[in-house]
């Protein structure tokens, strides 16, 4: 265990603080956080169940949506149970290996989610710009390969992060992580060794994922909008754009919070720690909550199937 006076030693575990500066409000904060987590779990499981039972939804767009739901469940579940344990029981202690595992899951699946959004943009591009080839290009096999590629990319990009910490930064000057989960930079700042390589690698991954993926998605939608503007009637344009509306909303819900949180963590040194930690938690909770709502409201097939299920349940009662 670590000693005082900034003596560097090897920790067996770390201590997560929850929301630093708001410890006295933890029990009250647990109410909205537990409610949001419950909504996220129920919403994403509902999407998975509806797509599974409704054969008309067995299309590339909805398979990607199911992948998105699984990723959102992993992201929220990798952080919220531990955070609620801190709120309710003060259980902030987390082993070193568990901390590194949590770090890997969070950053890996955030990277995978970005890859799925990129695959969904490709699906919309083919469906709108080359509709006659959509069924031959986006086969079930191709959808599976795109999902696997996104997963392997996440593992390849993020896998070195915990390994670099394990091998290069064994000594720490403190064991208290001023955060609610084992975020990469929150752990690295406690290390006694030279963490420049870790910082550069983290920034490089952030650039590759956030910047390049968002640029590729933007390019695909520029081509989509050009194709849509070439349609004969305004009704056809609106109908075609409507198929992309849910995807665009989901992209904004994902990229905007994570970009804001990353910028604040890197450059917003004057932002109070409670604000930064709350934002970091929201970017792991907001997409899992809103993605099912956005797709359920804006996607006709999912909305109609949900209404059918609700009507059946009402009749049974």
The string of pLDDT tens digits covering residues 211-221 is 899 999 999 98
> What mean pLDDT do residues 230-242 have?
67
Statement: residue 303 has pLDDT above 80: no
- Mean of per-residue pLDDT scores for the chain: 87
Separation of alpha carbons 299 and 117, rounded Å? 17
Q: Which residue has the higher pLDDT, 205 or 297?
A: 205
Helix axes 273-298, 300-316, angle to 10 degrees: 80
What pLDDT score does 93 carry? 96
Q: Which residues pair with 16 in a beta bridge?
A: 177
Among candidate residues 39, 35, 114, 31, the one with its CA nearest the CA of residue 71? 114
Kindly tell me if the per-residue pLDDT of 95 is higher than 80. Answer: yes
Whether the per-residue pLDDT at 22 is higher than 80: the answer is yes
* Cβ-Cβ contacts under 8 Å for 18 (sequence gap 6 or more): 26, 83, 86, 87, 92, 180
Q: State the average pLDDT over residues 267-293.
A: 84
Q: What b-and-e string marks burial along 260-293, b requiring 16 or more CB atoms within 10 Å of the CB?
A: ebbebbeeeeeeeebebbbbbbbbbbbbbbbbbe
Break the chain into its structural domains and give their ranges.
13-122+131-316
Which band of pLDDT confidence, cut at 50, 70 and 90, is reported for residue 88? very high
CA dihedral (207, 211, 217, 222) positive or negative: negative
Residue 26 has pLDDT above 90, yes or no: yes
pLDDT tens-digit profile of 175-193?
A: 999 999 999 988 998 998 8
**By three-state DSSP, how is residue 107 classified?**
helix
- Superfamily of domain 13-122+131-316, CATH level 4: Rhodopsin 7-helix transmembrane proteins (1.20.1070.10)
pLDDT at 1: 44
Percentage of the residues of the chain whose pLDDT score is greater than 90: 48
| 124-155 tens-digit pLDDT | 899 888 888 999 999 999 999 999 999 999 99
Report the pLDDT value the prediction gives residue 129, as an integer from 0 to 100. 85
pLDDT (mean) for 288-315: 76
| 274 in Cβ contact with 19 (< 8 Å) | yes
């Amino acid at each position: 265990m670590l000693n005082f006076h900034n003596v560097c030693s090897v920790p067996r575990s770390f201590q997560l603080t929850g929301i630093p500066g708001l410890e006295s409000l933890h029990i009250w904060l647990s109410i909205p956080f537990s409610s949001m987590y419950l909504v996220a779990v129920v919403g994403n499981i509902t999407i998975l169940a509806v797509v599974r039972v409704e054969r008309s939804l067995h299309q590339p767009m909805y398979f990607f949506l199911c992948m998105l739901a699984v990723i959102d469940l992993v992201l929220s579940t990798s952080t919220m149970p531990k955070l609620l344990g801190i709120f309710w029981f003060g259980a902030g202690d987390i082993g070193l290996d568990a901390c590194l595992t949590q770090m890997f899951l969070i950053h890996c699946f955030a990277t995978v989610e970005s890859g799925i959004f990129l695959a969904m943009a490709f699906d919309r591009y083919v469906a709108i710009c080359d509709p006659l080839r959509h069924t031959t290009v986006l086969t079930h096999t191709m959808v599976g390969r795109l999902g696997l590629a996104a997963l392997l990319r996440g593992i390849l990009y993020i896998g070195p992060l915990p390994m670099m910490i394990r091998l290069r930064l064994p000594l720490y000057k403190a064991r208290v992580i001023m955060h609610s989960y084992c975020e990469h930079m929150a752990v690295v700042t406690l290390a006694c060794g030279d963490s420049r390589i870790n910082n550069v690698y983290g920034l490089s991954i952030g650039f590759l994922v956030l910047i390049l993926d968002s640029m590729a998605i933007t390019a695909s939608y520029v081509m989509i909008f050009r194709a849509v503007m070439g349609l004969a009637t305004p009704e056809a344009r609106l109908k075609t754009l409507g198929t992309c509306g849910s995807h665009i909303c989901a992209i904004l819900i994902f990229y905007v919070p994570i970009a804001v949180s990353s910028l604040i963590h890197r450059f917003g040194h004057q932002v109070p720690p409670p604000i930064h930690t709350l934002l970091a938690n929201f970017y792991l909770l907001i997409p899992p909550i809103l993605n099912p709502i956005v797709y359920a409201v804006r996607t006709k097939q999912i909305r109609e199937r949900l209404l059918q299920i609700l009507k059946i349940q009402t009749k049974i009662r």
